[in-house]
Amino acid sequence: MCLSRGSGEGRRTLSSKRMSSDEMGQFLADAYREAFGADRFHSLFDNASLADGQTIDFALAEWHAFGAFIFTYCLWVVYNDRNKVSPILNCFHPALLSSLCLNEVAEKRFLTIASDREREYVDHFQRVKDGADMGIFFSRVIARITGDFSSDCDSKGLPQTSDLAINAPLCGYVIDVMKHTKLAIQEFGPR
């Protein structure tokens, strides 16, 4: 995962000036497209089975809601200040939505679930203390995407049924994305 500014002669280096909130929002939307695009989704989930009633549109909407959480969470970790985060999100969210190129069904589903998932994922991710907790967190994400989420398992604090062949690579990938995203925000974001 590469989070650099631009390409070619116009590429900025780490010693370059910091971005405005609007520039950072657009930068994150561009990085999001690379990190959570359809190609990445298919590389992780092509061998997964979707539950009865879970369409590819709904699976992609869940995938994108999870990705939006990751980038938003990174902003809050770096700044922990509404006055700094809100202006960036005001640019990031519309830029993200326009870049997703979702069909009408998937976009409607994404808009319906995005804020709910963000709250859900923040609540659960903040409780992760070790590898077992991380496994439970990612099993929830995978179950949401595949449509296998069980409220009964959730209420008992049990892991969701998910494929370990997806859980481990997804966990490693997301931790890497978070690390690079936080570093880019720290290096380039507004002070």
pLDDT in tens, 154-168: 888 777 887 778 989
| pLDDT at residue 16, as a whole number | 62
Least confident of 4-13, 70-79, 111-120, 122-131: 4-13
Contacts 24+ apart (CB under 8 A), 11-17: 12/188, 14/187, 16/188
DSSP 126: T
| pLDDT at residue 62, as a whole number | 92
Q: What's the predicted TM-score (pTM) here?
A: 0.85
Query: Domain map of the chain by residue range?
Result: 18-186
CA atoms within 13 A on the CB side of 99: 22
Are the C-beta atoms of residues 22 and 95 closer than 8 Å to each other? no
